[in-house]
Amino acid sequence: AIDFPQDEQIRNLYNHEGVFYVLGKQTIYRFTGSQLLPLYESGGIKTLAFYKNEIFVGTENGYYGIHNASGNLTVALQNKVPVPNINCLFVADGDIWAGSDEGAFRKEARGGYRYYASKRWLDNNQVTALAADSKANMYCLTPSGLNKIEFQIQTLAQKTTYYQDKIRQRHIRYGLISEVFFDKSGDISAAEMKDTDNDGLWSSFYLGSQAFRYAVTKEKIAKRYAWETFEAFERLITINPLKGFPSRTFERIEYRNSDPEAWRKSQDPEWEWKGTTSSDEFVGHIFAAAVMSQFVAETPVEKKRVADFIDQILTHIIDNNYYFVDADGKPTRWGRWNPEYINWYPESVGDRKLGSTTIIAGLQLGYALTGKAIYQSEAFRLMNQHHYLKNILIDCNKIQVTPGYTHLGATMGDGWNHSDDEMAFLTYWVLYHFAFNDTLKNQFAGAIKNHWAIELPERDALWNLIAKGTAGVYDKESTLWYLHEFPMDLVSWTVKNSNRKDLLFLPENLRGQTTKIQIPLGEQPMHRHNTNPFDLDGGDDGHSELAGDEYLLPYWMARYLKVIK
**What are the 10-residue block averages of pLDDT along the chain, 565 residues in total?**
71 94 94 87 96 97 97 97 98 94 92 95 98 96 97 96 97 97 92 93 98 98 98 98 98 87 95 97 98 98 98 98 98 98 98 98 98 98 98 98 96 96 98 98 98 98 98 98 97 98 97 97 97 98 97 98 97
Closest CA to 491 of 182, 152, 105: 182
CB 354 within 8 A of CB 423: yes
Q: Cβ distance 130 to 90 under 8 Å?
A: yes
Reported as type and span, the H/E element at residue 114 is strand 113-116
Angle at 233 between CA 377 and CA 324, to 5 degrees: 50
Where are the alpha helices (H) located in 18-155, listed in sequence order? none
> Taking the CB of residue 185, how many other CB atoms lie within 10 A of it?
14
- Cβ contacts of residue 196 below 8 Å, gap of 6+? 178, 179, 202, 249, 257, 258
Tallying the residues shown for the chain, one arrives at 565
The whole-number pLDDT of residue 244 equals 98
- Return d(Cα 158, Cα 101) in angstroms, integer: 35
Residue 50 · residue 91 · CB < 8 Å: yes
pLDDT at 110: 79
- pTM (2 d.p.): 0.96
The answer to whether 328 and 322 are in contact (CB under 8 A) is no
Q: Which element (helix H / strand E) includes 228?
A: helix 220-238
In this prediction, residue 404 carries a pLDDT of 96
Q: For residues 475 and 501, is the Cβ–Cβ distance under 8 A?
A: no
Looking at residue 2, what is its pLDDT?
58
- What's the burial of 198, exposed, middle or buried (CB within 10 Å: 0-12/13-18/19+)? buried
CB 131 within 8 A of CB 139: yes
Tell me the sheet residues that pair with 541: none
Q: Supply φ then ψ for residue 259, to 5 degrees.
A: 45, 70
Amino acid of residue 375? Y
Compute φ and ψ for 467, nearest 5 degrees.
-60, -40
Query: 369's torsion region: left (phi>0), alpha (psi -120 to 50) or beta?
Result: alpha
Strand boundaries in 200-328, DSSP class E: 249-252, 263-265, 271-274, 323-325
Identify the DSSP state of 53.
T
H helices present in 251-372, as ranges: 279-291, 300-319, 339-342, 350-370
Distances (CA, A) of 171 to 91, 165, 202, 546: 40, 10, 11, 8
Q: Identity (one letter) of the amino acid at 206?
A: Y
